[in-house]
Amino acid sequence: MAEETLTITDNRTGRRYEVPIRNGAISATDLQKITSNGSGSGLLSYDPAFLNTASCRSAITFIDGERSILRYRGYPVEELAEHSSFLEVAYLLIHGEMPDPTQRQQWVDAITHHTLLHENIKKLIDGFHHDAHPMGILVGTVGALSTFYPDAKDIFKEESRRLQILRLIAKMPTLAAFAARHAVGMPYAYPDNDLSYAGNFLNMMWKATELKYEPNPVLERALDVLLILHADHEQNCSTNVMRAVGSAHADPFSATAAAAAALYGPLHGGANEQVLRMLGEIGSINRVPEYVKRVRSGELRLMGFGHRVYKNYDPRAQIIKKVADDVLAVTGRSPLLDIALELERVALADDYFIKHRLYPNVDFYSGIIYAAIGFPVEMFPVLFAIGRTPGWLAQWQEGLLDPEQKIARPRQVYTGPPERHLPGIRAAKAGAGTSAG
């Protein structure tokens, strides 16, 4: 097949250029040959916030925001949420294929084997203020882990990468649970290797004086599904950070700390926390129309609504709504769910939301489930970070091994003053016959 190309005419010079189109994209560096007078630096593409710029080729996650499609390595997320476990999905993201039974067992055993933290990490957590946000503790402690594992710097050794990936997936829940217990002054509960990944996390969160913690199977499964739904989402803000930091060849613990810091923001992983606060502020179904009116007027944003990529229903939100029913059947109905359902109903029928193509995103219902299970709101972004860790690591590794990648370093369009000089220097330069303009 003949190569697909794009012909560009530069109306400044009348010159025509032909640039190849590959996989539906032109390469921005091909624009460099377009210069206004045939010399100097070439044309840049200007794209703040990467609205239409692909930063990598990736074989991990596919999203079609118009058609509400999300697939990990080709598998629809709905199928994975119903028929697989979070650790299988983590394996899939990292290795590209679902594990066979032997691989599955080895993977689960290896992760279970790495759940403990070095005792000095406990001392580090102890040093945080009693009301420290657990996401702040997570960002700090996951970064600190890089000092415990200097071998993590061997990023081009496959065996080292494998080990750090196991450590990170295994230790994130332990860091998260320890951070939560620090806030309430409870002694840390150590991992229980008899339990599943999600079940053990519930154990580390809530084990008190009982000899053995037994997680409720419905809540355990609900948490596992939520982790699956958060496991990857192609080039979102935190993943972009993970890749960018990884491109400087930092170790994966440092890169994960940076990605988690991005996730902390209220426009990203912090949104589920904001949703719950918002539902609390609305307080009752009757006040929903008034709240939506304030959103329409531009006074506020409806948290948990809207997405950079989905201009239709976020497929994860559909699955989560169903999980919410299962969880609330165990924990008892939440008045917040009634407010959320009414908010969704009113918003989806409202011109503003229709015009702006705003639909519930993954965070709209996840907070209700987390709260029903018993997690404090501060833990919501932390839960998101646990789920997203395999995705971050898969993307980090893919970027690192991609021969087309280099250190991430965007260009800019400079808008500041032209060259100028400090007053004294100007006089001196003027005296020496130099223009200081």
Q: Which is nearer to ligand ACO, 253 or 305 (CB)?
A: 305
| Coil, helix or strand at residue 304 | coil
Nearer of residues 118 and 268 to ligand ACO, judged by Cβ? 268
**Of how many residues is the chain composed?**
437
Q: How far is CA 32 from CA 51, 108, 181, 226, in A?
A: 20, 49, 54, 44
- Bridge partners (DSSP) listed for residue 64: 69
Tokens of 404: 């087309």
The nearest distance, CB 235 to ligand ACO, in angstroms, is 12
Q: How far is the CB of 78 from ligand ACO (least distance, A)?
A: 17
- Asked if 226 and 173 touch (Cβ cutoff 8 Å), the reply is no
Q: Which residues are catalytic?
A: 268, 307, 363
Angstrom distance (rounded) from CA 317 to CA 323: 10
Q: How far is CA 305 from CA 3, 211, 302, 348, in A?
A: 41, 43, 6, 10
Query: What is the nearest approach in angstroms of ligand ACO to the Cβ of residue 302?
Result: 4
Q: Are the C-beta atoms of residues 259 and 245 closer than 8 Å to each other?
A: yes
Task: Report, in Å, the least distance between residue 300 CB and ligand ACO.
Answer: 7
Residue 306 CB, nearest approach to ligand ACO (Å): 2
77 token code pair: 């997320």
Say if strands 75-76 and 69-72 run parallel, antiparallel, or are unpaired.
antiparallel
Q: How far is the CB of 220 from ligand ACO (least distance, A)?
A: 23
Q: Whose Cβ is closer to ligand ACO: residue 232's or residue 363's?
A: 363
Q: What share of the chain is helix, strand, coil (3-state, %, to 5)?
A: 55, 5, 40
Closest CA to 177 of 189, 195, 161: 189
* Segment holding 284, helix H or strand E: none
Which residue, 34 or 226, has its beta carbon nearer to ligand ACO? 226
Which residue, 356 or 411, has its beta carbon nearer to ligand ACO? 356
Least separation in angstroms between CB 204 and ligand ACO: 24
Nearest-10 crossing angle of helices 197-206, 101-113: 20
The residue type found at 49 is A
Q: How far is the CB of 81 from ligand ACO (least distance, A)?
A: 16
Q: Where are the alpha helices (DSSP H) in 1-100?
A: 77-83, 86-95
Of 134, 164, 128, 172, the C-alpha closest to 148 is 164
| Residue number, 161 or 388, with CB nearest to ligand ACO | 388
Residues that bind ligand ACO (CB under 6 A): 267-268, 271, 295, 301-308, 356, 358, 361-363
* Residue of minimal Cβ distance to ligand ACO: 306
> Taking CA 135 as the corner, what is the angle to CA 130 and CA 140, rounded to the nearest 5 degrees?
85
User: Is the CB of residue 367 less than 8 Å from the CB of residue 303?
Assistant: no
Toward ligand ACO, which CB reaches closer, 104 or 301?
A: 301
Helix axes 86-95, 217-229, angle to 10 degrees: 20
| Cβ–Cβ under 8 Å, residues 199 and 224 | no
Kindly tell me which of 139 and 295 has the beta carbon lying closer to ligand ACO.
Answer: 295
Of the candidates 385, 331, 322, the one whose C-alpha atom is nearest the C-alpha of residue 174 is 385
